[in-house]
Amino acid sequence: MNAHSRFDVQFVSLGPGHPDLITLAALKALLQCDHIYYPVTVSPSGKKTSRAEEIILAHDIDTTKLRPYTLPMSKDRSEAMRAYEDVATQCLADYREGLSVVVAAEGDAGFYSSTHCISDALLCKGCPFRYIPGVPAFIAGGAHAGLSITRLDEELQIIPGNATTEKLGDALTEGRKVLIMKLSRCEKVVKDFLEMNKDVAAVYFENVGTPDEFISTGIEEDILPRPFPYFSMMWLWPK
């Protein structure tokens, strides 16, 4: 028994998409726990999908542990917040019963992950928890593209989907590399910026670590015509 009780609630990072890109600590937590909570999204047609579930099942985890929860995908976050609160309540009940609980998160649980809504609720409820770090999608993307993401004294600015032409222009003028996460939320802004600034280089990433992975530096031929899905991001830097 280590400093952390096996009965802690653990937020486990699953990595960007490929089942191999989880840590040994994450795999041990998944194998040893009693319950695993993870998000499932439902399309307008009613189709259920979960990248988290795909990663978990690739490791032959006992399916009786699985506790999927439906996460509404809407700009109105009230239903999603209720779902997170429900999961936190269930985690607390499990913890009080002496069960070991995992809350699974795609990417890294502590990096732009909405699972913080669950950990915030647990904190308010006085329930102990810990985070198991993982591989963020932008680190995996850089590796897959053969990029040295930052070198020497280079600065990196991360913009989480609220990009504006002013933010992008200021960062690049001041010599910083820019990583835009949640790219689908600012698609028009980014495309307009690229069309107006021909002295900017870009690398576009989509569905990193999955069979549908797509990476391109072709602004005119690939990036501008392509719709940006939820799992997309982009690096920008001055040429």
Q: Which residues does 202 contact at the CB level (< 8 Å), separation at least 6?
A: 194, 217, 219, 223, 234, 235, 236
Is residue 168 within 8 A of residue 178, CB to CB? The reply is: yes
Q: What is the pTM of this model?
A: 0.90
Q: Which residues pair with 130 in a beta bridge?
A: 10
Q: How many residues does the chain have?
A: 239
Whole-number Å distance between alpha carbons of 149 and 136: 13
Ordered per-residue pLDDT tens for the chain, 239 residues: 334 455 589 999 999 999 999 999 999 999 999 999 999 998 778 788 999 999 999 999 999 999 999 987 777 789 999 999 999 999 999 999 999 999 999 999 999 999 999 999 999 999 999 999 999 999 999 999 998 989 899 899 999 999 999 999 999 999 999 999 999 999 999 999 999 999 999 999 999 989 999 999 999 999 999 999 989 999 999 98
CB atoms within 10 A of CB 123: 13
Q: Which residues does 210 contact at the CB level (< 8 Å), separation at least 6?
A: 17, 18, 51, 231
Pairing verdict, β 232-238 and 177-181: antiparallel
Residue 51: half-sphere exposure toward Cβ, Cα within 13 Å: 18
